[in-house]
Structure 1
Amino acid sequence: MITFITGGIRSGKSRFAQEMALRLSQAPVYIATARVWDEDFRQRVKRHQDERGPEWTNYEAYTDLSQLPLQNKVVLIDCVTLWLTNFFMDFQNDLEKSLAAFRKEIDNISQLPGTFLIVSNELGMGLHADTEVGRKFTDLQGWANQYVAAKAEEAIFMVSGLPLYIKRQD
């Protein structure tokens, strides 16, 4: 089962997803998809790490998440934006290759037994990107989000720390 949790920056997505994972399991799995690019980002990663207790099994994975031992677990993937950045950088900003690789991983994950909470950002709701590469990435993010939302049994949009259920499992 996939639950997709999306929203803007600082909308409460990660906190909500972590709380949900802990309600569903006493020993959830956390997959951090971020590569650390600079010191500011290193501090953000540290803050996220400090929020999680010893009950979490933590993995750092950048592209091939479906290869991790995730079967029959509650898994939080945080986040699609950073995961996509890894594909985008690896494929030298090629939209088609990046999206194809991402979709393949989502398809692989959707075939695994377990519960997957997938966190993402809604980039297209803010300012229009200044650069061509920024606009390409915003498009990639939008297409990726649509793909995950279509595969998900449940989709939640976070606004000011509050969940808005946009797709519910029946």
Structure 2
Amino acid sequence: MSLTFIIGGARSGKSTYAELKAREYGEKVVYIATAVVTDESMAERVKKHREQRPVSWSTVEMYSDFERLAEYKEFMDNEVVLIDCMTTLIGNYMFDSKINFDTCSPEEVNNLEIKITEEIFSLINVCKANDKKLIMVSNETGLGVVPPYYMGNYFRDISGRINQKITVASDFMYFVLSGIPIKLKHKGEMIKWQEDF
């Protein structure tokens, strides 16, 4: 099992690069799509993503219950798992929680973050248990302005902390900037501060 983490800003080319890595890792790929179509704009984005993927790839649409993946033929029959993307997954969880982020307690947000983190690591664990090559895609949300509303702040903070945890767990990591992938981590390399993370 290996974990490759690909991160970048919106429209940076990270999904395209993740798909190139998936082709490099093997011909048998299952794509886990975390997006939920809520409007015409999202429908168009999903359509474009589908069109750029090889027709031979399997697709599973889900952002939760990853411990059940071993029950999916699409998962078991393929050697490479590509999930795109973690920040969409986080947003879905925040929306589904029905929490009022303008008035909620810090404990409610912390409990939600724990639940999301556990879900993401259940995906990593099921891939490890079934010897899959896992590619995870996420947005870097910490480079822009501070969101002017509570939910945006919580989303940025949760995403940032979860991205750090995925980084520690990853074997390989790339940052994609305007279509250019920059290697940040290679298996066996460890940033000193990560040892106690």
TM range (shorter): over 0.9
Cα distance in 1 for residues equivalent to 2:98 and 2:3? 29
Cα distance in 1 for residues equivalent to 2:118 and 2:182? 28
3-state DSSP class of the match of 2:64? coil
State the superposition RMSD in angstroms.
1.5
1:75 aligns to 2:81 (yes or no): yes
Q: 1:2 — aligned with what?
A: 3
8 A Cα contact 1:63 1:86, kept in partner: no
Offset of 1:95 from its aligned partner?
Answer: 2.6
Q: 2:111 — aligned with what?
A: 97
Letter in structure 2 aligned against 1:157 = F
Q: 1:141 — aligned with what?
A: 159
Letter in structure 1 aligned against 2:57 = W
8 A Cα contact 2:66 2:122, kept in partner: no
Letter in structure 1 aligned against 2:112 = S
Q: 2:105 — aligned with what?
A: none
Offset of 1:128 from its aligned partner?
Answer: 1.5
Report the count of equivalent residues. Answer: 170
Offset of 1:57 from its aligned partner?
Answer: 0.6
Offset of 1:133 from its aligned partner?
Answer: 1.0
Q: 1:62 — aligned with what?
A: 63
8 A Cα contact 1:91 1:97, kept in partner: no
Q: Which runs of 5+ in 2 are unaligned?
A: 100-107, 189-197
Percent of aligned pairs with the same amino acid: 35
Offset of 1:64 from its aligned partner?
Answer: 2.0
Q: 1:53 — aligned with what?
A: 54
What aligned pairs does 1:100-139 form with structure 2 within 5 A after superposition? 100-111=114-125, 112=128, 113-139=131-157
Offset of 1:127 from its aligned partner?
Answer: 1.8
8 A Cα contact 1:149 1:155, kept in partner: yes
Q: 1:18 — aligned with what?
A: 19
3-state DSSP class of the match of 2:154? helix
Cα distance in 1 for residues equivalent to 2:68 and 2:109? 23
Q: 2:184 — aligned with what?
A: 166
Cα distance in 2 for residues equivalent to 1:63 and 1:98? 13
Cα distance in 1 for residues equivalent to 2:145 and 2:33? 26
Cα 1:13/1:66, change in 2 over 3 Å: farther
Offset of 1:157 from its aligned partner?
Answer: 0.6
8 A Cα contact 2:32 2:62, kept in partner: yes
8 A Cα contact 1:35 1:62, kept in partner: no
3-state DSSP class of the match of 1:83? helix
Cα distance in 2 for residues equivalent to 1:31 and 1:120? 13
Q: 1:151 — aligned with what?
A: 169
8 A Cα contact 1:6 1:156, kept in partner: yes
8 A Cα contact 1:84 1:98, kept in partner: no
Q: Which runs of 4+ in 1 moved over 6 A?
A: none
- TM normalised by structure 2 equals 0.81
